[in-house]
Structure 1
């Protein structure tokens, strides 16, 4: 499948590469590496994202500049490559722009249930990350084009989308690719891990302390919830970006099958849903309220208020747990 994608991309002179809104390590790592691959093959590339890049990932923009999409730049592109999202709406302004000026579009992703509308789709739900898939772009074409910067970008995406290689999405293939990235890129794991995980501000730890005090267990200690409010952010002089990774704490409680981090930041409630049980599918929870993602990691939004949101989402989880008990 990547042989066909390589062939199609090489038909274009300028390609716009989009990463999804509210970017994370996987979409940014894949975007940076894909842009560098395009340029190594004589194709001009622009990297677009509607949102700010999180602080712990901004070092990757030294490898390739990511810019806000502007009409004059978009018009220079004769095709688009969409990474780590399976619906045009995941890429912000891209969906609206393509309605007015349709151009060939290619999607590479690992989320379930991809939407139609792309000229070519590579969707591999079993892959640990989109960065694992983009590695095959180099492998299929010319592995010698994979330099240290691209290797670090791809390793970042694999590391962050697998809980530091702990999730059950990690396969022997994932580990082989991670090993190749370290070997070819000539770097050790700590080089990336320290940039991504070891740069917390004291204020972020103060925020984490307040958030952890809100942890509650539900449904016979099978579901854990935690929340952050705009007041907490104001009191600790932090931002939404500082909540990154918080959901791992309630998920780490012994006996828990799923955890939800709720963020009540003024315009509805955003949430991150995580599961550590093969039986619990948080993607189904998220889809009931218009969100989605993976079986074990999903996101959603609710109009609020916070108390009603928690009650409704825990209720959805309760129904699934009851169905599991019956089976």
Structure 2
């Protein structure tokens, strides 16, 4: 990784000279976005700052243990719009494009606050005043850890656990291609701070509801293969969610399932959303870079985990269009 000492000094200066902060992440936040937010929240609160964490989407069910009393993570509404506009500093975490802020985007655009983006996605185009971005970082949580350490602040257990969640989930429990020597050293450092690996894993991966499990079974029943099994696809309809009593946040983690099938190079999950939108999640192994595929449909993300939202197509039309494009990425492998 590059040396970001000067960038971090600029961020710490903003923290030192301001009082009112907003932390936000992308729509449908994942473990890295939420863990990074929570760690930075604890850091700022310990410095006696006024802080609110405001996201466009609710916290997914599997991560609600991070804030069991719903006292920290807030879902955007008219009540916190003015707080965003009148804030001094806005931290945007784990996001590379302004539009991925969802409903929060308009309020941030209207605010005169200093915008600080901390992110590890490739091709970051966020219009921030200070950009602390590195696509070589294991997770956004790694950059937040670097920021806190350079401040000289002691890493507390709540901060360490939050950052461990960021690291654990973005590496797929240390299975994905971003699991390198530095990732394992970072994990060891956070465990040495008192984090329980077993406890965190249990809360994230071993606490599924019956409703989510039924939806998962229905989703797996849609599994199909293309190009002799090199591409695996699944889908979720609005009716499936209604019939199982689930909400959108219950889908977190489903996209990875088909990638674990032998010989599958790309797994794709299609999810019907309201207003004629289809969320498409792409997963791949090291040999196929799916952020390029996602970009063809206006999306992006990581080289092995990306997503896009397709508008004005039916589910069947979206599947046909995406499969046609995906075949180009595997036909010569």
The TM-score, its normalising length taken from structure 2, stands at 0.91
Matches within 5 A, 1:294-305: 294-303=302-311, 304-305=313-314
Matches within 5 A, 1:116-155: 116-144=126-154, 146-155=155-164
* Contact kept in structure 2, 1:130 and 1:157, CA below 8 Å: yes
In structure 2, the partner of 1:101 is 111
Structure 1 Cα separation of the partners of residues 133 and 255 of structure 2: 26
Structure 2 Cα separation of the partners of residues 262 and 136 of structure 1: 36
Shift of 1:143: 4.4
Decide which of 225, 233, 240 is 1:217's aligned counterpart.
Answer: 225
Structure 1 Cα separation of the partners of residues 263 and 82 of structure 2: 53
Decide which of 206, 214, 223 is 1:206's aligned counterpart.
Answer: 214
* Contact kept in structure 2, 1:283 and 1:298, CA below 8 Å: yes
Shift of 1:103: 2.0
In structure 2, the partner of 1:83 is 93
Decide which of 34, 40, 50 is 1:34's aligned counterpart.
Answer: 40
* Contact kept in structure 2, 1:88 and 1:94, CA below 8 Å: no
Structure 1 Cα separation of the partners of residues 254 and 142 of structure 2: 24
Matched, 1:56 2:66: no
In structure 2, the partner of 1:189 is 197
In structure 1, the partner of 2:52 is 46
Aligned residues: 321
Structure 2 Cα separation of the partners of residues 98 and 233 of structure 1: 32
* Contact kept in structure 1, 2:55 and 2:104, CA below 8 Å: no
Given the superposition, is the C-alpha separation of residues 17 and 228 from structure 1 closer, same or farther in structure 2, using an over 3 Å criterion? same
In structure 2, the partner of 1:171 is 180
Worse-superposed segment, 61-70 or 257-266 = 61-70
Shift of 1:42: 3.5
Q: Give ranges in structure 2 of 5+ residues lacking alignment.
A: none
Superposed CA RMSD:
1.7
In structure 2, the partner of 1:256 is 264
Given the superposition, is the C-alpha separation of residues 318 and 128 from structure 1 closer, same or farther in structure 2, using an over 3 Å criterion? same
Matched, 1:156 2:162: no
* Deviation digits for residues 134-160 of structure 1 (CA, Å, limit 9, x no counterpart): 11122111241x211111111111111
The TM-score, its normalising length taken from structure 1, stands at 0.93
* Contact kept in structure 2, 1:10 and 1:43, CA below 8 Å: no
Matched, 1:242 2:250: yes
Structure 2 Cα separation of the partners of residues 158 and 92 of structure 1: 24
Shift of 1:249: 1.9
Decide which of 12, 17, 24 is 2:18's aligned counterpart.
Answer: 12
**Matched residue of 2:17: which SS?**
coil
Structure 1 Cα separation of the partners of residues 272 and 86 of structure 2: 39
In structure 1, the partner of 2:83 is 73
**Matched residue of 2:168: which SS?**
helix
Shift of 1:51: 1.5
Q: Give ranges in structure 1 of 5+ residues lacking alignment.
A: none
